[in-house]
Amino acid sequence: RMGPDGAAGQPVTWRKVLWEHQPFPDNYVDRRFLAELRRNEGIRQYRYWAVVKEAGFVGQQLSCVAVFITLWLYMEQGLLSPERLLWTCLVCTLLGYGLHQSLTPPAESGCELRTRLADLQSATIFLSFTFGFSPVLKTLTESVSTDTVYASAVMLLAHLVSFPYAHPSPPGSLSLNAALFASVCLASRLPGALHTFAMLSCALLVFALWPCLLQRLRENTPTQFAGLCVGVCVGGVGGLASQSPGGAVLLALALGTVTLFCPLLLVWLQRHKDNIQGPWDEAEIHEDLLHILQ
């Protein structure tokens, strides 16, 4: 057949190699080039309700922040005593710990007695230090204006942005520190040291322990996990509505957007995705090189 420059002569077959001299330009490709084109290879197809179920974790975490702010508003207005909040947190912690232990596989739990003693020791140390430093934390922001302290609560937004939704057990250090920082700022504006201690204990329960239990439920009981997320979202909207109807409407719109509209948008955009692979891609080594490195 004809050569690359159109002159008659001995047919020359183009080969896709660099080490052999060929009478073709460097950018030459033959008709087989597009035959190796592959479209949407390995693209994951999403189902709407499956995406909604996963987005429920984001929605319930947003609702947890709303619940925490609602509890703080109740305490600031004197509608909720710190003793009642502490007893409620204690009961919820014991129930959640028992449920978490029942859902933990035996291979992960190890020695049950030793694990429970270690957990009890950690909880005792945290509560002791928090209770002892509550008067200090109460006066920590006295020299800072109230508007500045309330503005610092925007760290709750940083908590939501940096939260590891794929693997929330344990929560990420950045998201947990952001939530605790905002909790300290808000708790320092409460009437007494006991209020501060109760609010920080509640923050630990909501932002540190609750995600671990929810992740265990997501792994073992998906149906109950979905129902619990719906319950938390309803509780967040209802609680916020008792203090700020406008804020409850905004929260409901945010939850609807995150859990219903965004999954719909993702599924719709996935249908129009056009990802191509071909011989122009970088080479991938599929051979196991472990024996070479040893």
25-74 pLDDT, tens digit per residue, is: 877 777 776 777 777 777 778 889 989 988 999 999 999 999 999 999 99
Evaluate if residue 292 carries a pLDDT over 60.
Answer: no
Residues 104-129 have a mean pLDDT of 72
| Least confident window among 103-107, 246-250, 260-264 | 103-107
Answer with the residue of higher pLDDT: 131 or 249.
Answer: 249
Evaluate if residue 284 carries a pLDDT over 80.
Answer: no
Residues 135-156 have a mean pLDDT of 77
With contact defined as beta carbons under 8 Å apart, do 24 and 228 qualify? no
> For all residues of the chain together, what is the average pLDDT?
82
pLDDT score at 9:
56
pLDDT > 70 in the chain, percent: 87
With contact defined as beta carbons under 8 Å apart, do 51 and 239 qualify? no
For the entire predicted model, the pTM comes to: 0.77
Apex 261 CA angle, 260 and 266, nearest 5:
105
CA atoms lying within 13 Å on the CB side of residue 199: 33
